[in-house]
């Protein structure tokens, strides 16, 4: 009887702790807040190796910091910009290595461009939305271009360059006028 109780405890314990450990995705706060909405539904944020949750955490933190660094200087002191990401597709596609290594491989080709979908909202000091819009970014020429060279040593260089290019070339007029 005692063995059955221990066996049940061993079986139930990992399941119970897994249920209580809800994944907390990084949400960058400050003048520019980045929220990752339903990341389990994103098109491609697959890890080629390592733990999936750690990889996603790294991707979300890196891209969120890029949004903050690029857009923060464009805001007035009392304003806040909220970016809610609804979909993400990293450059490339993860494929199995079929025994060549223990890890999968991310194949980066022009047929797998990076994409990101988000909504931005500019809030005034009272928290009222001044302006906002939906943005669908896709970089079909991601493998070439000077912006990509700037991020050459970064693992997410194509996505970082795509965000930087949007801020430089297509940022909303309400923010662009402040440059």
Structural domain boundaries of the chain? 23-176
Which pairing describes strands 32-36 and 80-89: parallel, antiparallel, or unpaired? parallel
163 or 179, higher pLDDT:
163
pTM comes to: 0.78
Reported confidence tier of residue 141, pLDDT bands at 50, 70, 90? confident
Is residue 34 pLDDT above 80, yes or no? yes
Which pairing describes strands 129-138 and 115-123: parallel, antiparallel, or unpaired? antiparallel
Q: How far apart are the first and last CA of the chain?
A: 73
Q: Coil, strand or helix: which one is 104?
A: coil
Percent of the chain predicted with pLDDT > 70? 78
pLDDT at 147: 60
Residue 112 and residue 38: Cα distance in Å, rounded? 22
Mean pLDDT of 149-174: 88
Reported confidence tier of residue 154, pLDDT bands at 50, 70, 90? confident
Residue 170 and residue 91: Cα distance in Å, rounded? 21
Residue 150 and residue 157: Cα distance in Å, rounded? 8
Read off the tokens for 140.
């079909």
pLDDT in tens, 80-132: 999 999 999 998 888 876 665 667 777 788 888 999 999 999 999 999 999 99
100 or 49, higher pLDDT:
49
Q: Coil, strand or helix: which one is 35?
A: strand
Read off the tokens for 156.
């997410």
Residue 67 and residue 155: Cα distance in Å, rounded? 16
Instruction: Report the mean per-residue pLDDT for the chain.
Output: 81
Burial of 41: CB neighbours in 10 Å, binned 0-12, 13-18, 19+:
exposed
Q: Which residue in this structure is represented by tokens 């991020």?
A: 151
Is residue 137 pLDDT above 70, yes or no? yes
Q: Find the helix or strand (DSSP H, E) in which 117 lies.
A: strand 115-123
Contact 111, 89 (CB under 8 A): no
Mean pLDDT of 134-153: 82
21-30, 62-71, 121-130, 134-143: least confident range? 21-30
Is residue 5 pLDDT above 60, yes or no? no
Mean pLDDT of 152-157: 86
């Amino acid at each position: 009887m005692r063995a059955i109780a221990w066996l049940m405890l061993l079986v139930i314990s990992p399941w119970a702790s897994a249920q209580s450990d809800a994944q907390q995705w990084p949400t960058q706060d400050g003048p520019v807040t980045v929220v990752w909405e339903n990341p389990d539904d994103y098109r491609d944020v697959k890890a080629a190796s390592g733990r999936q949750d750690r990889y996603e955490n790294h991707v979300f933190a890196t891209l969120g910091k890029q949004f903050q660094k690029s857009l923060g200087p464009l805001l007035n002191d009392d304003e806040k910009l909220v970016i809610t990401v609804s979909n993400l597709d990293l450059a490339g596609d993860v494929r199995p290595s079929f025994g060549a290594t223990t890890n999968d491989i991310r194949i980066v080709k022009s047929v797998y461009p990076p994409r990101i979908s988000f909504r931005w909202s500019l809030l005034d000091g009272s928290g009222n939305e001044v302006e906002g819009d939906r943005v669908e970014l896709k970089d079909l020429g991601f493998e070439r271009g000077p912006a990509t060279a700037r991020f050459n040593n970064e693992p997410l260089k194509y996505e970082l360059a795509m965000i930087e290019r949007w801020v430089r070339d297509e940022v909303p007029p309400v923010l662009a006028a402040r440059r």
